[in-house]
Amino acid sequence: MISEASDLNHKSYGDGATHYKEGNFKRAKQAFELALEYWPEDPQAWFALGNCFDELNKPAKAEECFRKALVYTQEEKKSDVYFNLGNSLYDQAKLAEAIDCYKKVSGQSPSYWPAQRNLERANNEL
């Protein structure tokens, strides 16, 4: 039973990734939600679902997903989640919280320099 749920999670996640790449964020969202029904602790599905909500201009929902992703993501892989969470908070004018997230992005992460730019913008607006 567990391997069946894992297989269904992977299939749904793959479907979501395909829809996301095609720009069909609503269908991608549905697929990632289905993936999470099979494995609610899937950090990548939470992250992807947050990205869908971000693309659908629903930053509060994106924030919820990114916060869930942080719970399940390994410490060394959290930088991208913090960056996207920071962006969702920024979009909601929660500037102090966004700043905290941008500061948590590792210098080793590809998101580091975009986070530094957004950190400067958020600091200027605060």
Q: What is the pTM of this model?
A: 0.94
Residue-wise pLDDT for 61-107, tens only, equals 999 999 999 999 999 999 999 999 999 999 999 999 999 999 999 99
**Distance from C-alpha of 42 to C-alpha of 65, rounded to nearest angstrom:** 11
**Distance from C-alpha of 18 to C-alpha of 2, rounded to nearest angstrom:** 24
